[in-house]
Structure 1
Amino acid sequence: MPEASKEKKRPDPDVLLAKLNKETRGKLTVFLGAAAGVGKTYTMLKTAHEMLDSGADVVIGWVETHKRQETEKMVEGLPRLPAKEIEYRGKILHEMDIDAILARRPQIVLVDELAHTNAAGSRHVRRFQDVEEILNAGIDVSTTINIQHIESLNDIVAQITGVTVRETVPDSIVEQADQVQLIDIPPNELIKRLKEGKIYMPHQAELALNKFFRPGNINALRELSLRFTAYRVDKELNEYMQEHDIPGPWPAGERVMVCVSASPFSAQLIRAARRLARGLQAELLAVHVDTPRRSGSSERERDRIFRNMRLADELGAKTISIVGKDLTEEILRMTREHNVTHLVVGKPLRGRLWEWLNGGAVVDKLIRYSGGINIHVIQGNTEVKDEPKVKTIAPKKVIHWWHYIAGLLMIIVMTAGNWWWRHYLEPVHFMLLYFLPVLLSAVWWGKGPAYMTALCSAIFFDFFFIAPIFTFSISDLPYMWSLPLFLFVSFIIGGQTEKLRVEATLARQREKTTGALYSFSREIAAVVDIGVIVGILAEQVWQTLDKSVAVFLPQENEKLVLAAEAGPVKIDEDAGERAVAVWTFEHGEIAGHCTDTLPGARYMYLPLTTSQNTVGVLGIEIHEEILTSPQKRLMEAWAGLAAIAVERVKLAEQARQAALLAESDQLRTALFNSISHELRTPLSSITGAISGLMDTDGVYSENDKKELLETVKEGADRMDRLVSNLLDTARLESGMMQLKKDWCDIEDITGTALRRVGECIKGRELLVNIAPALPMIKADCVLLEQVMVNLLDNACKYSPQGSEIVITASQDKAAIQVSIADRGTGIPAENVMRVFDKFYRVEQPKKVNGTGLGLSICKGIIEAHGGTIQAENRPRGGAVMTFTLPWEEQPPMYMA
């Protein structure tokens, strides 16, 4: 029996640490259900009554009965802590009171609906965070949750039911539970309860029956719940077996493991194991063990292992690759760790002598030491020759005869030197010196020249230095053993040096490949333009592979077009090449040169495939008839990385469109609310004034009529400013605002703006400080006037009657600076940067009219002129809005 199996397995330190942490925490019990209405809360309350009767200190922290009579009856008789009241937007909401629970410190607390989102203002955002705090205080918690609220199953539930659940709980919360109790009822009974109104109100129940609570949906959710619970039970069983050092396996549940190697016959084993696992309804594991004896496998064998493990992954197996000293020992260790009940291995194809020389047949050892594991030995008469879609072969070695000649020249030079020193050194010293040409030949040219150099060294040494010299006879008996030993050591040195040289070359190639892939991934990490990504892809592939590259992407009409290319040879509009690219895109398979599909093409086409679909095609011009396995894997790596990048950009674009749509909806809602309010006031005043003017009974005097006309004008001006702001906002957002620049005088613009807001500034102290000889600036005078009007209007709205408004204009070396200050309440410090956002208005005790667009329009106009605008609070109260505009020397004007 292998030694490792005799030794007692050491406990996992992480498991021990987790158990120590659990001793100080409270215990979590989760009542899990497939859907609402299966009886989770009812069962939790029933269990609480039983614990209360047995003397346990049980209280209700939070239970939502949803006005179900059966649940409300179960609440009666259980101690219940009062809920905490939280005021939110004028409403009183009730949430679980954590502080009351911690102060009460019961033995067990009941918390319903673990996935609930707490009201704003609560200590934690989510209820499961409340539960964690209670558990950390050493209090046991019983809670409820539906399977659709578990994070890892959220997308699966959305596919099944068509409903995306927003409130989810991390898997770790449920996985760390001390007990998970599955609550399950048949679908017919659940639907019956729904129709009877025991779950939802009648109108809600009818909608739920048509949407979520269909029999197929319920069965699918039940299966998810059963699988989740079974996985947890299986995990607990494995932990128990490891904790108590039980070798196993315990046949509580079936699990199949297949051994994967570099043999093409492994593909048959994987398929046979998959059929066995399907018949047993068991989980399938595919394990490859890399041992020192197999670590020096050829490139072809490594490529075959890669394909076999990928096949296992495609068939739904859990793939595991490990490194170990003994193959049998590692396989048995994996079977014990994963509680495997069925092991699938291949029948040996070589004779007993070969197996004996290699330490015995692995199958015989597995059968001898398997214990309670069922061993399935699959017969294979001949190894099936797998035919990859891409033809690959190891690179052919080119024999350079001058390497052999150079090795011979080194021997001649070494012999001449030794002959010169023959009177001063012993012959055995010359033998050691002959190792140097052998080592250099192996390092520089490989084992072939090294072997030839070693053989020539032995011949030259015998001919020139072993008596009788100038003959191949050996009279000294010790040299009869020394020469064969010299050749043996030389061959070992040459072979091992060649191996190290090849490994170093492969390491440099892998480093270059990895560096190129890393450089590509780093360059495209922050790029959101697909055109830029495929351009970088084409350039990087060309520089790495030294082959012309073409990238094809589909358009909105699904037509494939050339998106980028790189290299000395540009792909032409050959219909045949494009047809191969289209076939690759439609079928999602490799085609073109060096493949068995449309091999007449000049390019090899690889689909850019993601988990969802094919997003493009990568074409690489191939001159060779057959590629090497590293080249093939490198091309597939480029294609996979590019596919992920393209899909990321498309998903980002979809997210951006969704965000724009949401922002547009928000903007439209805010706009409608603002306009409906802002238009109603001036329209009402205009309508009332016109009604008074149309009165023909002579009730109104001339002064009254004049006031009514002023009211009409004031309302019209207000509506005009509102419409102007809306139009300006639309032009700014669409980029259609065109500046009509001319030489403008800030003093004239200020005067015109003051006249336009004359009614607004009545009753206020106005101070205007414009620097003398202020130069003119080149700008759009009408838009600058609009900026001044909006800033003055804003100052009037947010300052009391009788306060001062100060207009200041000055000049520095590069800009004209204009500021408008008031003595209002100022701007909250945390919102100073937000005052120029659309629809933002500072909260005021009194009602302030406006849409919140004026300052955002000012910001857009000033920035369009190349200037800046900012808001600040004044030292003794109030706010100051300052904008700066660049200025240039006005050219001299000549009179005709």
Structure 2
Amino acid sequence: MTTPARRGRLTVYLGAAPGVGKTFAMLDEAERRRARGTDVVVGLVETHGRAATAAKTGDLEVVPRRRVAHGGTTLTELDVDAVLERAPQVVLVDELAHTNAPGSRHPKRWQDVRDLLDAGLDVVTTVNVQHLVSLTDDVEAITGVRQRETVPDQVVRDADQIQLVDLSPQQLRRRLAHGNVYRPEQVDASLRQFFREGNLTALRELALLWLADRVDDALTRYRTDNDIASTWPARERIVVAVTGGEESETLLRRGARIAQRAAGAELLAVHVLTTDGLPPAPPAAIAAQRALVESLDGTFHTVVGEDVPSAVVDFARGVNATMVVVGVSRHSRWRQALLGSSSAEIARLSGAIDVHLVTHERARSGAGLPSRLSSLSRTRLVAGWVAAVVVPAAWTAVFAALGRGAVSLPTELMMFLAGVVGVALVGGLWPAVAAAVVSFFCLNWFFTPPTGLLTVADPENLLALVVFVLVAAAVASVVDLAARRTVQAYRSRAEASALAALSRSVLRGEDTADAIVQRLALTFGLDEVRLDERDDPRSPWSAAAHADRGTGAATPAPEDTTTEVLIDDTHRLVLTGRVLPASDRQAVEAFGNQAGIVLEHRRLREQAAAARDLEHAEATRTALLAAVSHDLRTPLTAIRTAVDGLAMPDVELDDEDTAALTTTIQDQALRLERLIDNLLDLSRLQTGSVRPVLRATSLDEVVPPAIEPWLGSLDLDLGEDVPLVRTDGGLLERVVANVVANAVRHSPPGVPVRVAASAGADDVEIRVVDTGPGVPDDRKDSMFQPFQRLGDTGTGLGLGLAVADGLAQAVGATVVAEDTPGGGLTMVVTVPRAGGPR
């Protein structure tokens, strides 16, 4: 089959409810296309016994359906192969969500349609809104009926054309009452149940909203493809700008109320991460606001931008928003007058987007604002202010001692400028500005003619002094900014290193609560860190882990403070020690959030491990019951039959029959004994109750008793120079017996199994060689698992090799499977030599 030049186009008639006329609309389109000369065939149309629908098919060509026998009845389905062979331009396929009969080409009809589209055929199809998989729960809540036949939303969304077929609830109920949808005997029940007016209204709204989403996607693609930057208010989208402050909750709730006024409106919250050096909002506050947005059926978005107003407006335009909700600035009036406000700038940049300004309790309070004040320590600030006075005075004293005229004014200006830069490096911006002002007065008074006066005779000297002050202030500002950015970079690197260390500790398995709090105490130099937990938000807190930097419980100093960091509703960190600056507190909150993720991951991992253990135990129990019910019953049944034969009073047995029955009892009793021994050994291994006694042992004490039941089927070669081994003789005997039993069972009749021993430098190998069917490489790892019969489903529980491997590990030996040259399997039991490495 050649590859089609293009993929077929899909047209979907989407019905708001059954009976609205989807199939009629599809057949109308078929008639229109055929009238234009298009080759149209009916792949499958469901008439549901409606004469009007059958008549609507008219003289359209119908591809015969494929008949499928199922459950004693014959079903008909879309014959995809027949349609492909016919190869029309357009094919009609009704009921896209239909489930095909077993044995069909695909389980679902939408998969059949996909094959037709891939072959280049255009398809016109129908589906009701209640069959969209994303709306299954909503439809069940509305109608009380769970839809079993569904179609993935993306299949319908990817359609080239979607036509909504709709009727008002009253019209649809009248159509139903007139018998145009269901048979008369079904009408009353349908009107009372699924086709209630409320149900139909809700389904109609679901269809409109779902289709609106799809149309909105198409509108977004069109605006992107045509580089349209302006907003088209086709749908209400409310964007709320959140800062992480307490007022953000007020803004979010106001935005949610605005969104609720318009059906289908969306609520979007946006938080801007700035790159201008301002400290970010606390992670805990952002997490709480994210949770609030999601509880209000909105979405939370984070963007990065140098300028907050521009970033908010760019985001709003990108999502085609109709309104931006912002809060009144927290800046004081005088600061707004000097620097402006983000809300006013957003209103200026918004263009056609409405801006809703919301007042709040912190409006114009100036509280909680991020600050650009220097992050230097108090010691450096004090040193900077002292240097702002001492450095100009020192230079003045030096030049005065050198004498007037010894140094030119430009040189003096440069030296004073160097002093200002030094002050900026020590104390930051404002001490440097003060040093520049003091230097200006010193230069003017002592070194600029006329000296001793704050006047300047030469205008060039005045210009030089003014330029000096401006350059000194600019240089000090740049130096201070570089110093602050350096401090922020070091702090960010330290925080990243701390979180990376936590991640590495998790990868190393140190994801316990104790490890987390210990690392937190060491990283931030805290005296004591405690992790509290509770079962639910109403329960009291209890300590889950505790750590301090000493060997015992820390004794807080009087000046220590206690800080609480809430991780989530059921976990919190309690920190005791030094007062944490704002930057460190943000890092601790980030650390706490990471710790919460780690704890949740560990809890889920423990639950998964417990579930796996339970699943393994359940699988073992099920397999054991299934196997035991057969494999224990078989020898018991044989023994019971033989005993009954011997005990029958009215039957006289000759010696040969009596010997045969006696042999059967002995053989089956031995088989039963081995089964029970394996079960007991497996139980002991799984409970860890095997306690080997290791001592120097000769293989002559182990191998002959182990292989005694199969001596007639073995070729034994132990050799006379095999050294002693360090093992538990009884347990090693069980290992050899199980391995030999497995080899004898799988060897061809009349071909002996070879058992040989050879010595190495540090160990002794016992090789059990058979020429049976062997084991594929992909089964060699799993053959030592319990209940693996290796293709032999006749007898045995499949425990022999599992028990052998477990007992071998208990005595320090190994069991490895290798291929026998020429075919078969060789089991190699490796045992340490006595006196060798332990």
| SS of aligned partner of 1:643 | helix
| SS of aligned partner of 2:618 | helix
Give 1:534's aligned amino acid: A
Give 2:530's aligned amino acid: A
Does the alignment pair 1:491 with 2:446? Answer: no
Fraction of identical pairs, as percent: 29
TM normalised by structure 2 equals: 0.77
Mapped contact 1:367–1:375 kept (Cα < 8 A)? no
Mapped contact 2:65–2:76 kept (Cα < 8 A)? no
Cα deviation for residue 159 of structure 1 reads 11
| SS of aligned partner of 1:26 | coil
Instruction: String of CA shifts for 1:762-808, please: whole Å, max 9, x gaps.
Output: 4x4x3211121322223222222222222222112212211121001
CA RMSD for the aligned pairs? Answer: 5.6
Does the alignment pair 1:777 with 2:725? Answer: yes
Cα deviation for residue 711 of structure 1 reads 0.7
Instruction: String of CA shifts for 1:412-454, please: whole Å, max 9, x gaps.
Output: 6655776759868642233133211111210122224323432
CA 1:661–1:182 in structure 2 vs 1: closer, same or farther (change >3 Å)?
farther
CA 1:526–1:256 in structure 2 vs 1: closer, same or farther (change >3 Å)?
same
2:716 equivalent in structure 1: 768
1:47 equivalent in structure 2: 26
Give 1:502's aligned amino acid: R
CA 1:656–1:235 in structure 2 vs 1: closer, same or farther (change >3 Å)?
same
Mapped contact 1:603–1:621 kept (Cα < 8 A)? yes
Mapped contact 1:264–1:386 kept (Cα < 8 A)? no
Does the alignment pair 1:605 with 2:564? Answer: yes
Give 2:500's aligned amino acid: Y
1:820 equivalent in structure 2: 768
Does the alignment pair 1:855 with 2:801? Answer: yes
CA 1:375–1:445 in structure 2 vs 1: closer, same or farther (change >3 Å)?
closer
1:79 equivalent in structure 2: 63
TM normalised by structure 1 equals: 0.73
| SS of aligned partner of 1:866 | coil
Q: C-alpha separation between the residues in 2 aligned to 1:219 and 1:747?
A: 89
1:568 equivalent in structure 2: 549
| Selected match of 1:632 from 565, 577, 585 | 585
CA 1:727–1:741 in structure 2 vs 1: closer, same or farther (change >3 Å)?
same
Mapped contact 2:251–2:326 kept (Cα < 8 A)? yes
1:534 equivalent in structure 2: 513
| Selected match of 1:444 from 426, 448, 452 | 426
Does the alignment pair 1:474 with 2:456? Answer: yes
Cα deviation for residue 812 of structure 1 reads 0.7
Does the alignment pair 1:616 with 2:571? Answer: yes
Mapped contact 2:99–2:107 kept (Cα < 8 A)? no
Q: C-alpha separation between the residues in 1 aligned to 2:799 and 2:384?
A: 82
Extract unaligned runs of 5+ from structure 2: 70-74, 183-188
Does the alignment pair 1:254 with 2:254? Answer: no
2:523 equivalent in structure 1: 544
Query: After the TM superposition, which residues 321-332 of structure 1 pair with which residues of structure 2 at under 5 Å, given as runs?
Result: 322=303
Q: C-alpha separation between the residues in 2 aligned to 1:481 and 1:852?
A: 101
Mapped contact 1:265–1:384 kept (Cα < 8 A)? no
| Selected match of 2:830 from 884, 889, 892 | 884
2:378 equivalent in structure 1: 398
1:505 equivalent in structure 2: 487
Does the alignment pair 1:726 with 2:679? Answer: yes
Instruction: String of CA shifts for 1:29-68, please: whole Å, max 9, x gaps.
Output: 567789xx9589x95798379538844666799x899x98
| Selected match of 2:743 from 795, 801, 816 | 795
Q: C-alpha separation between the residues in 2 aligned to 1:751 and 1:187?
A: 89
| SS of aligned partner of 2:378 | coil
| Selected match of 2:322 from 319, 341, 346 | 341
Mapped contact 1:550–1:571 kept (Cα < 8 A)? no
Q: C-alpha separation between the residues in 1 aligned to 2:771 and 2:758?
A: 21
Does the alignment pair 1:383 with 2:363? Answer: yes
Q: C-alpha separation between the residues in 1 aligned to 2:199 and 2:453?
A: 94
Instruction: String of CA shifts for 1:311-363, please: whole Å, max 9, x gaps.
Output: 65665543445566887776665544433334445678999999897799976
Q: C-alpha separation between the residues in 1 aligned to 2:575 and 2:383?
A: 35
1:278 equivalent in structure 2: 260
Does the alignment pair 1:684 with 2:627? Answer: no
Mapped contact 1:49–1:78 kept (Cα < 8 A)? no
Instruction: String of CA shifts for 1:160-191, please: whole Å, max 9, x gaps.
Output: 9999999998876555443456789999999x
CA 1:297–1:798 in structure 2 vs 1: closer, same or farther (change >3 Å)?
closer
Q: C-alpha separation between the residues in 2 aligned to 1:384 and 1:353?
A: 10
| SS of aligned partner of 1:732 | helix
CA 1:288–1:785 in structure 2 vs 1: closer, same or farther (change >3 Å)?
closer
Does the alignment pair 1:811 with 2:766? Answer: no
Cα deviation for residue 538 of structure 1 reads 0.9
Give 1:564's aligned amino acid: A
Mapped contact 1:273–1:344 kept (Cα < 8 A)? yes
| SS of aligned partner of 2:720 | coil
| SS of aligned partner of 1:551 | strand
Instruction: String of CA shifts for 1:497-516, please: whole Å, max 9, x gaps.
Output: 22221222122112211221
2:813 equivalent in structure 1: 867
Query: After the TM superposition, which residues 401-420 of structure 1 pair with which residues of structure 2 at under 5 Å, given as runs?
Result: 401-406=382-387, 410-411=391-392, 414=395
Q: C-alpha separation between the residues in 1 aligned to 2:290 and 2:442?
A: 52
Cα deviation for residue 286 of structure 1 reads 3.5
CA 1:168–1:378 in structure 2 vs 1: closer, same or farther (change >3 Å)?
same
| Selected match of 1:663 from 616, 619, 624 | 616
Cα deviation for residue 258 of structure 1 reads 3.7
Q: C-alpha separation between the residues in 1 aligned to 2:101 and 2:690?
A: 46
CA 1:364–1:468 in structure 2 vs 1: closer, same or farther (change >3 Å)?
closer
Q: C-alpha separation between the residues in 1 aligned to 2:131 and 2:660?
A: 65
1:587 equivalent in structure 2: none
Mapped contact 1:291–1:325 kept (Cα < 8 A)? yes
Give the stretch that moved more between structures: 265-274 or 153-162.
153-162
Say how many residue pairs are matched: 798
Mapped contact 1:740–1:779 kept (Cα < 8 A)? yes
Give the stretch that moved more between structures: 862-871 or 731-740.
731-740
| SS of aligned partner of 1:785 | helix
Q: C-alpha separation between the residues in 2 aligned to 1:702 and 1:219?
A: 91
Q: C-alpha separation between the residues in 2 aligned to 1:406 and 1:769?
A: 96
Q: C-alpha separation between the residues in 1 aligned to 2:635 and 2:365?
A: 87
CA 1:453–1:543 in structure 2 vs 1: closer, same or farther (change >3 Å)?
same
Q: C-alpha separation between the residues in 1 aligned to 2:167 and 2:508?
A: 50
Cα deviation for residue 477 of structure 1 reads 2.8
| SS of aligned partner of 2:702 | helix
2:72 equivalent in structure 1: none
CA 1:319–1:561 in structure 2 vs 1: closer, same or farther (change >3 Å)?
closer
Does the alignment pair 1:834 with 2:786? Answer: no
Extract unaligned runs of 5+ from structure 1: 1-21, 86-92, 200-205, 578-592, 594-599, 892-896
Q: C-alpha separation between the residues in 2 aligned to 1:803 and 1:490?
A: 102
Query: After the TM superposition, which residues 151-170 of structure 1 pair with which residues of structure 2 at under 5 Å, given as runs?
Result: none
CA 1:324–1:780 in structure 2 vs 1: closer, same or farther (change >3 Å)?
closer
Give 2:707's aligned amino acid: L
1:648 equivalent in structure 2: 601
CA 1:468–1:355 in structure 2 vs 1: closer, same or farther (change >3 Å)?
closer
Cα deviation for residue 704 of structure 1 reads 0.8
Give 2:750's aligned amino acid: G
2:186 equivalent in structure 1: none
Give 1:542's aligned amino acid: A
